[in-house]
Chains A and B, each alone.
Chain A
Amino acid sequence: MSTKASIPPPPETVLDHDDIGRAIKRIASAIVEQTKGGSSIALVGIREGGVPLSNRIASEIQKSEGVRVPIGTIEIALYRDDVASRKAEVVGSSDIRFAVDGQDVVLVDDVVHTGRTVRAAIDALLDYGRPRRIWLAALTDRGGRELPIAPDFVGLAIDVPAGGYLEVTLGGPKDRVVLVRPAFEYAG
């Protein structure tokens, strides 16, 4: 008789509160540098994880440049490529109140992984108009891309093995990014 047991390895904090603060500052200043002052851009957070992040980046830009960039949120559930194979969940609403036509838009997400979410977000955004350029900012890039998509601004690049995941908590003093590795299985 063989039974399998698995030991979950201890979660590892890869970014703490201060690291995240610095990473967001760095992303914000890179955006400002690349877009020549940030006055022509808008930020769009991908729901849910990208939304608090886009707000934080916007307030950093406002602090350093005195520019208030327009912020929006985008829901990608309706643009997924795997609708039929997923359990139905409540769909959130997109909220984009600025004109997308001709705008430089920075899509913001907490984790970039396969690239499928970003693909869906690009398609969703294009239904609101024709932006001049779409950029991509992410707090973390965990690798494992399945589509030819690359972020322009990244806080931390870290390889996460398949089956593991990054747990991002944003908001207040509990800010952190935790790496949860896949459980180690052994025959017992």
Chain B
Amino acid sequence: MATGLRDRHLLGIEGLEREEIEAVLDSAEAFYEVSRRPVRKVPTLRGKTILNVFYENSTRTRTSFELAGKRLSADVVNISASSSSTTKGETLSDTIRVLEAMHPDIVVIRHSASGAPHYVAERVSCSIVNAGDGLHEHPTQALLDAFTIRRHKGTLTGLKVAICGDVAHSRVARSNALLLTKLGNEVRFTAPRTLLPSHVEQYGVSVHDSIESAVEGADVVMMLRIQKERLDGALLPSMREYARTFGLNARRLAGAKPDAVVMHPGPMNRGVEINPDVADGKQSVILDQVEAGVAVRMAVLYMLSADPGSGSSVTKLQKE
């Protein structure tokens, strides 16, 4: 029997072994089934408390984590930065100390500072899940993207994946590149040079100057949101020029494999990085990603709730 996660936190894809990734994805299949039943709830985490602490605005990730926790019967509390004492000047470590006094089992945290979840994880006794930290990682997004790809392609190895757009500001791109290369896929980045991270080679990806060349023969085309709030005007001359040179449309998608899937972590800027004909087209799996998100997050919350200390020798005895 495959095991679960070694660490009691999920801070990034970087620290995960291939087997751990596969264990999460395999379990997510079971939770996917739960979400399609008449009773979309299992009693697994009854009596557990999960805090969603979001220092950055988020609707879909927060809702997805909230649903995941609730479908596992945990008590879920959402805390957003605008309503928290952060705006009154409390530091992150003080906030966390206060929250820990409420005895949560899992804290899901999103923060604009890279590494914030790691900082918190060193100071608390509960499990920490990184729901996006600055420009660093967004591990559950990469896991749900992997789950979606595997469901549509039937495999998660040997695929050609084009990741297009604002790679430099994208924790989604980073986590996805780490995960997909770890599982033996070919990852291609394409973006204007100003939107590529420095030392991009370290991710084991190839870099393409044109979207046509990145998409050529791809199995998966993953578009990234142009994060207007992170651009200061110096990186791109104009949105229109970006849409013309790097936006995905039906003509450009035709260069990919005929059965290629189109993905987007959302929220989409229609007409900028992705055209409506592609976003709503037959090859789009964007809504499947949303559905996969709840299943994958249920799997993560479930696996972090098990006792990492107890040995698997139990399974040798009668399974009861």
Contact indicator per residue, chain B 26-39, by CB within 8 Å of chain A (1) or not (0): 11011111100111
Contacts of B87 in A (CB 8 A): none
B154 interface residue per 8 A CB criterion: no
When the two chains form their complex, are residues A86 and B27 in contact, meaning their CB atoms are under 8 A apart? no
Contact of A113 among B41, B306, B320 (CB under 8 A): B320
When the two chains form their complex, are residues A128 and B314 in contact, meaning their CB atoms are under 8 A apart? no
Contact of B30 among A86, A94, A142, A160 (CB under 8 A): A94
When the two chains form their complex, are residues A165 and B43 in contact, meaning their CB atoms are under 8 A apart? no
When the two chains form their complex, are residues A128 and B320 in contact, meaning their CB atoms are under 8 A apart? no
Q: What is the predominant secondary structure among interface residues of chain B facing chain A?
A: loop
Contact indicator per residue, chain A 155-166, by CB within 8 Å of chain B (1) or not (0): 000001001011
Contacts of B48 in A (CB 8 A): 84
When the two chains form their complex, are residues A115 and B320 in contact, meaning their CB atoms are under 8 A apart? yes
B82 interface residue per 8 A CB criterion: no
Interface centre among A49, A83, A95 (most CB of B within 10 A): A83
Contacts of A116 in B (CB 8 A): 320
Question: Would A85 and B307 be within 8 Å (CB), given that A113-B320, A127-B39, A165-B317 are in contact?
Answer: yes
Q: What is the predominant secondary structure among interface residues of chain A facing chain B?
A: loop
Q: Which of B61-69, B115-123, B133-141, B297-305 contacts A (4 or more CB under 8 A)?
A: B297-305
Interface centre among A88, A94, A163 (most CB of B within 10 A): A88
When the two chains form their complex, are residues A88 and B33 in contact, meaning their CB atoms are under 8 A apart? no
Q: How far is the CA of A107 from the CA of B124 in the complex (A)?
A: 43
| Closest chain B residue, CB of each to CB of A75 | B30
Q: Which residues of B (169-199) have their CB < 8 Å from a CB of A?
A: none
When the two chains form their complex, are residues B310 and A85 in contact, meaning their CB atoms are under 8 A apart? yes
Contact of A91 among B3, B302, B308, B310 (CB under 8 A): B302
Instruction: Count contacts between A and B, CB distance < 8 Å.
Output: 103
Q: How far is the CA of A168 from the CA of B22 in the complex (A)?
A: 28
Interface size on B, residues (CB 8 A): 42
Question: Would A87 and B307 be within 8 Å (CB), given that A116-B320, A117-B319 are in contact?
Answer: yes
B5 to chain A: closest CB distance in Å?
A: 7
When the two chains form their complex, are residues A92 and B30 in contact, meaning their CB atoms are under 8 A apart? yes
When the two chains form their complex, are residues B4 and A88 in contact, meaning their CB atoms are under 8 A apart? yes
When the two chains form their complex, are residues A83 and B23 in contact, meaning their CB atoms are under 8 A apart? no
Q: How far is the CA of A88 from the CA of B27 in the complex (A)?
A: 10
Q: Which residues of B (275-311) have their CB < 8 Å from a CB of A?
A: 299, 302-308, 310-311
Q: Which residues of B (1-39) have their CB < 8 Å from a CB of A?
A: 1-5, 23, 26-27, 29-34, 37-39
Contacts of B315 in A (CB 8 A): 89
A18 interface residue per 8 A CB criterion: no
Contacts of A123 in B (CB 8 A): 43
When the two chains form their complex, are residues B1 and A117 in contact, meaning their CB atoms are under 8 A apart? no
Interface centre among B33, B41, B311 (most CB of A within 10 A): B33
| Closest chain A residue, CB of each to CB of B26 | A90
B238 interface residue per 8 A CB criterion: no
Contact of B44 among A83, A90, A117, A129 (CB under 8 A): A83
6 tightest CB-CB pairs across the interface, nearest first?
A88-B4, A88-B306, A78-B42, A91-B30, A127-B39, A88-B303
Q: Which residues of A contact B (CB under 8 A)?
A: 49, 75, 77-80, 83-95, 111, 113-117, 123-124, 127-129, 142, 160, 163, 165-166
Q: Which residues of B contact A (CB under 8 A)?
A: 1-5, 23, 26-27, 29-34, 37-39, 41-45, 48, 72, 299, 302-308, 310-312, 314-320
Beyond A77-B30, A78-B30, A88-B304, 8 additional pairs, beta carbon < 8 A: A78-B34, A83-B305, A84-B305, A87-B307, A89-B3, A93-B33, A111-B319, A127-B41
